[in-house]
Structure 1
Amino acid sequence: MADLASDFDVLIVGAGISGIGMAAHMKDKAPSHSFAIVERRDNIGGTWDLFRYPGIRSDSDMHTLGFEFEPWKHEKSIADAPAILDYLERIADERDIRQHIRFGHKVLSADWRGSEARWHVTLETKEGERKHLTANWLYLGAGYYDYDEPYDPGFDFGEFEGQVLHPQFWPEDLDYTSKNVVVIGSGATAVTIVPSMADKAAKVTMLQRTPTWMFSRPAKDSVANFLRKILPEETAYKITRWKNIKLQDFGFKRARTKPDKMAEGLHKRIRKSMGDDYDLTDFTPPYNPWEQRLCLVPDDDLFEAMKSGKADVVTGHIRAFEKGGVRLTDDTFLPADIVVTATGLKLAVAGKIALSKEGEPIDLAEHFYYKGCMFSNVPNLAVVFGYLNASWTLRADINSDYVCRVLELMKGMDVDIAVPRLPEDHDLEEDDIFDFSSGYIQRSKHIMPKNAVGYPWRLNQEYVLDRKRMASEPVDDGVLTFFRATEEVSAAEGSMEAAE
């Protein structure tokens, strides 16, 4: 991409799964529109480039975490970060996307100016230089968490003299050979780190305040690998992808309608690994399955590490960090040379970009989602916030496809502004945006956009239905309103302001 280019049809923020996916969709479905990707880091990959802790892997199968347009070709469907990065890099190179990326550029603010139908975007380079870009559309693929700081539970490490690490900022040269490690947390990160560190450490203990529902499955999808042997790659991928989508959907709905049956099935899998007489207390949460996201245990790696004596799981509350370890409220002492605080992420909305319209701040918490993609009365802005009960990329794909359709319709109509209009006197009934009890979700609800009970003003958690609606319902639905920034701009802006 020419360094002098400063104005684009679409500016994509983030070169992770969401951003690379949008670029690939545009190459195929909106090829006449110019775009650029701005990425604050030096590489593509987002999450998969940032996190470097031992064993980092997907907690969704790659046939659904992969894109609809690019088959996943690796034997393992539960993939490690290097394999995922390889997949993204191949897409970027084969589709000539890399030339459109500006690395080391962090977006600070974006101001919408209706008379120009342009977002004026201020960026900062790693050297501290400020730059200015403009774009007709802003597509936010910056993920869902704060890249600068993780969630801080406020631990006082007192007399503890060992190393304290957070998975988000893992040191490259950490040597944990023959050391005692305590990993605080019970989510996907902790469940990944514990068996991965157990091979070298003296002992790894997962210390959890509350148990999490665990779901054990093979890292290799035998059906997928069989189909790849007898069918063309793309056909096998489509069948496997749809199979896994339906299984995800079935599992989630079964958990909601028959939670006891789901819990029984999950416990049965653990006992298959650990033995029929295994005490399941540490794997029995005080909530139903899928009230928080299930934790994936590929190839029983956590349970195998526990059976070997190299890892264990302890449920309890921390009284104090002492010299040599962690003291619990029941007086149990856990020896530790290293403490890993896998206590969760800190959510962020819109990549923490200061959004504004005509200089007036835009607080997305005051706007309703529109089709899980745009926001009420905010022009030419789209975002990706993936599914909590399925793979992130499923929403990234349908949102990218939808925005490309909007772009193509706007080109045919010779307009340059698209805004989901919601009158100020609307009677929408608000709904809980996330029906999940996870701590990181509950802590962040106050910054999240609004969610209505009725479609299209909501962020759904049902991919199969969303996919059908987004693909089949007309873009020009009477809600998404189109304008041209010409002599009629004053009237158009007046209509938008009246709607707010």
Structure 2
Amino acid sequence: MNGHAQSETRFDVVIVGAGISGINAAYRLQDELPGYSYTIIEARDDLGGTWDLFKYPGIRSDSDLFTFGFSFNPWNQSNPIADGHLIKRYIGDTAKKYGIDKNIQYRHRLTNANWSSEDNYWSLNIDNDGTAKTINARFIIFGSGYYNYHEPLEATIPGLENFQGQVIHPQFWPEDLDYTGKKVVIIGSGATAITLLPNLAQKAERVTMVQRSPTYILSLPNRSGNWLLRWILPTKTYHKLQRMIWILQSRLFFLFCQGFPNFSRWILKRRASGQLPSHIPHNPHFQPRYNPWDQRLCVSPDGDFYTSLRRGKADVRTDTIKTVTKKGLTINSGETLDADIIITATGLKLQIAGGATISVDGQKINIGSKYMWNGVMLQDLPNASFIIGYTNASWTLGADATAQFVTRLLKSLETRKLIAATPRLKVQDAEKIQQRPLLNLNSTYVTVANQVLPLAADRGPWQARDHYLKDIKFATKGSLDDSMEYTQGPNVHLRAKIN
């Protein structure tokens, strides 16, 4: 435990998770509300979240670091796509630079959180290495991500139990795995598979990616082309401008793909076809059935994925699996693929709040039945915020919009002498709104998780998040009263109230 004595159990704000979202929220809190006490509880024994968990070869960002990084401590390298260990170091350096690391309590796993309407604070039950512990908070920020760290998404792969080689899920990659000279089959076609293939191909005898359906893969140069601006402008101005350029160009590209899907398909086809070796056709291996950005578009920095295919040590098969055998697998075309290692890159199992049970006055809240208020708070849940980023832009942009909203809300509560804020869905509104998915992707791992994710609607403050520029405007200037119920009371810091 860093920076706290064992008796330190009361805080104004508790942040769940010491990943990039939690560190960002901590900075906003201590910068905007320096008099408030806070702590970060982290289930693992180090910070970094995703970037501490995943250890598979080539793990990297699938968003540019100029927008995925912190706005207050910009990514200062020239490469927009970075390896996982560099991102983790960047997060750690940021936490140390701003003293955030002193407020992290490691090996503190939240098991359940209960809001008391009588006392107007949260009681958080913690598992601290097998020892039960309780922490109280006036406000809680769930920055624990959106997927299960302990269980991957289960995929039905017929006959997998027959395989006599190694079966590995990327989420639990053995750091000592030696795949040199081995035949590797990757099952899946998402960002993880597309990252793994070129990296495994450097040592493996052969790597084959078996996909049920293809995805769009866009090659981008992994370097910033704005060297002239960097030379001319002051460093701080340059980083702000660079960040805004990437925000705008990413947004415009998304809108272009959505507005002109056929033309976008043609452009992506042309770019992919020009990088494929002659023996691998574009159709069916790189021609998805969906339009660009109906699922997340995968990025290949410097075209490393296509380079591996051209070098002849990697290949792609688009088919369904008939059965897994002792020494490989057979696809429904009749072809048999030998394998020493099978990697099931079949997706993530989604969850909210790190799997913790959440209740109000002892009554459990079914998160999957509640609407998200402006993408930041949950219907009927007082003084709690959930950090949900974007599926079509950098996650951290959404995380920062949420953090800035929370600090503004806390300031408003104090100014107005209020003690709690709870989003409420009015009866008349409930009769009019229509449900919409919270995440605007039709990827399998998203659609199968709809029952555990909060709801969104077609109107009002219950609409799903759209884009950063709109959301940051709401975070800093939007209405705090629309469909929000407030509790009167002396808004004082929790520690002062209880002690």
Give the aligned partner of residue 197 of structure 1.
Answer: 200
1:158 is displaced (CA, Å) by 3.8
Distance, in Å, in 1 between the alignment partners of 2:170 and 2:161 is: 21
Tell me, yes or no, if structure 1 residue 439 matches structure 2 residue 439: no
Which of 164, 167, 170 is the aligned partner of 1:164? 167
Structure 1 unaligned blocks of 5 or more: 487-500
Q: How does 1:91-490 map to 2 (within 5 A)?
A: 91-126=94-129, 128-155=130-157, 156-223=159-226, 225-274=227-276, 279-281=281-283, 282-426=285-429, 427-433=431-437, 434-475=439-480, 477-485=481-489
Q: Percent identity?
A: 39
In the superposition, relative to structure 1, how do residues 277 and 316 fare at CA in structure 2: closer, same or farther (>3 Å)? closer
Distance, in Å, in 2 between the alignment partners of 1:10 and 1:194 is: 42
Give the aligned partner of residue 73 of structure 1.
Answer: 76
Distance, in Å, in 2 between the alignment partners of 1:435 and 1:51 is: 25
Find the residue that maps to 2:152 and give its secondary structure: coil
Give the aligned partner of residue 42 of structure 1.
Answer: 45
Greater shift after overlay, 267-276 or 391-400?
Answer: 267-276
Distance, in Å, in 2 between the alignment partners of 1:277 and 1:203 is: 16
Give the aligned partner of residue 61 of structure 1.
Answer: 64
1:11 is displaced (CA, Å) by 0.5
Distance, in Å, in 2 between the alignment partners of 1:100 and 1:332 is: 56
1:329 is displaced (CA, Å) by 1.1
Structure 2 unaligned blocks of 5 or more: 491-499
Distance, in Å, in 2 between the alignment partners of 1:360 and 1:485 is: 23
In the superposition, relative to structure 1, how do residues 431 and 395 fare at CA in structure 2: closer, same or farther (>3 Å)? same
Tell me, yes or no, if structure 1 residue 7 matches structure 2 residue 10: yes
Deviations 1:179-200 (A, max 9, x none): 0000110000000000011100
1:366 is displaced (CA, Å) by 2.1
Distance, in Å, in 2 between the alignment partners of 1:49 and 1:470 is: 29
Alignment check: 8 A CA contact 2:121 2:136 kept: yes
Q: Residue 266 of structure 2 aligns to which amino acid in structure 1?
A: E
Distance, in Å, in 1 between the alignment partners of 2:413 and 2:282 is: 57
Greater shift after overlay, 281-290 or 432-441?
Answer: 432-441
Distance, in Å, in 2 between the alignment partners of 1:191 and 1:414 is: 52
1:455 is displaced (CA, Å) by 3.0
Instruction: Give the count of matched residue pairs.
Output: 484
1:328 is displaced (CA, Å) by 0.7
Alignment check: 8 A CA contact 2:167 2:343 kept: yes
Deviations 1:340-383 (A, max 9, x none): 00000000022111000000111122221111000122110100
Q: Residue 240 of structure 1 aligns to which amino acid in structure 2?
A: Q
1:276 is displaced (CA, Å) by 8.5
Runs of 4+ in 1 over 4 A off after TM superposition: 275-278
Alignment check: 8 A CA contact 1:388 1:461 kept: no
Deviations 1:44-65 (A, max 9, x none): 0000000000000000000111
TM-score, normalization: structure 1? 0.94
TM-score, normalization: structure 2? 0.94
Give the aligned partner of residue 491 of structure 1.
Answer: none
Alignment check: 8 A CA contact 1:271 1:277 kept: no
